[in-house]
């Protein structure tokens, strides 16, 4: 047991204390998310009205294409299944997995990216509190289909689903904001053309997923992009200047040489 503990310790870039601080910060952010979700759960009528407002804006600007795009892919069961799984995992397993990889193997870049995630989450939580919005799947009258309920065994109202899904967190799309942060970071750190191509494609794939599963409008994604850009700006212009030795964007020797 002591040998295994020593092996794990040797792989930690900054030791157990720093790892504990990073995990604690993630827990605090999740608690904030849970608190805001609890507030939004009691605002269903407001969320439905706001969702209708988004639809009205898109219809007025002739950009209400989401039902038609979703209908195009619904006959392909395997594509819908893929989109459902990608939606359920892109925000949790894939994003957290990327952060874990970044912490362990590109630790010099981790803290800047972590700050971007924290700022993005904070901005999104402000949006969810001030403007709770029902997602497209709650408007079947416009042709939207809740693919996660209809094509998978997941129930949005189940206790498990509620661990990962805020029912009225459509504006902004944190899925797309996180995908942009992950994709841009992966692109900056990638060493091969095919990994660069994957990270460029990742935000586009997530955009397709959130629309095809009827969980976001395109306006949500646009606002998610604004959140990601604002998070990068705050991390670079404010936080990195406050603690340049710890929070600035840095690359290791191998990346610098590349």
Asked if the structure places residue 188 within a domain, the reply is yes
Domain at 229, CATH number:
1.20.144
Tokens representing residue 34 in the block:
């849970």
Pair of tokens at residue 236: 């670079």
Q: Examine residue 5 and state whether it is found in any structural domain, yes or no.
A: no
Q: What is the pLDDT of residue 165?
A: 56
Asked if the structure places residue 229 within a domain, the reply is yes
Cα-Cα-Cα-Cα torsion 223, 227, 228, 229, nearest 10 degrees, comes to 100
Check residue 40 and give its pLDDT: 60
| Residue 168 counted as domain residue | yes
- The answer to whether residue 118 is domain-embedded is yes
Q: 228 near 183, Cβ under 8 Å?
A: no
Structural domain containing residue 177: 15-257
- Block means of pLDDT (10 residues each) for the chain, 258 residues, are 66 83 88 70 85 96 96 93 87 86 92 94 90 94 90 53 63 93 94 93 95 95 97 93 85 49
- pTM, full prediction: 0.88
Considering the domain boundaries, does residue 10 fall inside one? no
101-136 burial code (b ≥16 CB/10 A, e <16): ebbeebebbbbbbbbbbbbbbebbbebbeebbbbbb
Q: Provide the domain count of the chain.
A: 1
Q: Is residue 72 part of a domain?
A: yes
Q: Which of 159, 187, 171, 162 is nearest to 220 (CA)?
A: 171
């Amino acid at each position: 047991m002591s040998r295994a503990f020593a092996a794990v310790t040797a792989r930690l870039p900054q030791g157990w204390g720093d790892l504990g601080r990073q995990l604690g910060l993630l827990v605090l952010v999740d608690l904030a998310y849970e608190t805001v979700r609890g507030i939004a759960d009691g605002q269903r009528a407001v969320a439905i009205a706001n969702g209708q407002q988004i639809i009205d804006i898109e219809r007025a600007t002739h950009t209400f294409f989401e039902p038609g795009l979703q209908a195009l892919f619904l006959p392909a069961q395997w594509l819908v299944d893929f989109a459902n799984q990608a939606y359920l995992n892109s925000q949790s397993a894939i994003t957290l997995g990327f952060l874990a990889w970044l912490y362990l193997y590109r630790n010099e870049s981790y803290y800047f990216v972590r700050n971007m995630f924290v700022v993005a989450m904070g901005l999104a939580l402000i949006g969810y509190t001030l403007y709770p919005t029902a997602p497209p799947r709650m408007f079947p009258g416009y042709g939207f289909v809740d693919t996660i309920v209809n094509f998978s065994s997941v129930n949005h109202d189940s206790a498990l689903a509620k661990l990962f899904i805020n029912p009225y967190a459509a504006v902004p799309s944190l899925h797309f904001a996180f995908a942009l942060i992950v994709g841009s970071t992966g692109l900056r750190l990638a060493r091969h053309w095919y990994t660069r191509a994957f990270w460029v494609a990742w935000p586009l794939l997530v955009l397709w997923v959130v629309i095809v599963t009827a969980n976001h409008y395109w306006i949500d994604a646009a606002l998610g992009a604004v959140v990601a850009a604002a998070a990068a700006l705050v991390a670079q212009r404010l936080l990195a200047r406050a603690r340049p030795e710890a929070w600035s964007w840095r690359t290791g020797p191998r990346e610098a040489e590349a």
